[in-house]
Amino acid sequence: MDGKRQGSLLLLLLMSNLLLCKNVASQPMCPSGSSCRVSLRDLFERAIILSHYIHSLSSELSQEFDAQYSQGPEFFTQAMSMCHTASLSTPAGKEQAHQIHQKDFVILVIHLLRSWTEPLSHLIIEANHLPKAPDTLIAKAMEIQEQNQRLLEGVKKISKLVDPEIIDNGDYSVWLGLPSLQSNDLESRLFAYHNEFRCLRRDTHKVDNYLKFLKCQIAYDGSC
């Protein structure tokens, strides 16, 4: 089987898998044409399914990029730099998490999700200019972008049930990474992508863990 045909089959398999997972994550809370009230627990469960899916995709995306572009075991070690969301004060563990007011914690999750709206958009556009960029890599990035927006809207709904007076002022961490993604130096561009995908994997893991913690504290009164 030639490389082009094999690549097409791999992309087809990936898209089939993404559609299957997407269908699981996007099933409606209420049957079509019915009227029902979605509980806070149900909203959290749906959000956690989605956040776990996004984190899994982010991990695959990071691994696929490194496998495609790494030039050796230590190639990307010099690419490590601070994530653009480092300015957000996030808890390092459960002890610190318990010290954050629930309302502030929900807002933190919203800010984390929104902080990736712009970077994801540019990552997808600029990835098309990478040499031999796999179609599967771009497809995963596009899926993460779409599902991140869905999760953001879902957490906003949760925030209104947690505290109707929560005000979302649209805050997010400013991203300044576009010039690095557009660098004329290929190695600099690869380092920039590696770092962005590493940060995305880290932040999606945080969101997944924070939602699980909040579900336990808010929907189950800390009894789980």
Q: Which band of pLDDT confidence, cut at 50, 70 and 90, is reported for residue 32?
A: very low
The answer to the question of whether 194 is labelled as a binding residue is: no
Pick 115 or 170 by higher pLDDT: 115
DSSP states of 68-129 as a string? HH--STTGGGGG----GGGGS---SSHHHHTTS-HHHHHHHHHHHHHTTHHHHHHHHHHHTT
Task: Give the Cα separation of 223 and 85 in Å (integer).
Answer: 31
Per residue in 146-192, pLDDT (tens digit) is 999 999 999 999 999 998 888 778 889 999 999 999 999 999 999 99
Which CATH code, of 3.40.50.1360, 1.20.1250.10, 1.20.120.80, 1.20.210.10, is assigned to 40-70+104-224?
Answer: 1.20.1250.10
pLDDT computed for residue 11 by the predictor: 53
pLDDT greater than 80 at residue 107: yes
- 52 labelled as ligand-binding? yes
Instruction: Report whether 25 contacts 147 (CB < 8 A).
Output: yes
Exposure string for 39-72, b = 16+ CB within 10 A, e = fewer:
eeeebbebbbbbbbbbbebbebbbebbbeebeee
**What pLDDT is attached to residue 17?**
55
Would the pTM count as exceeding 0.95? no
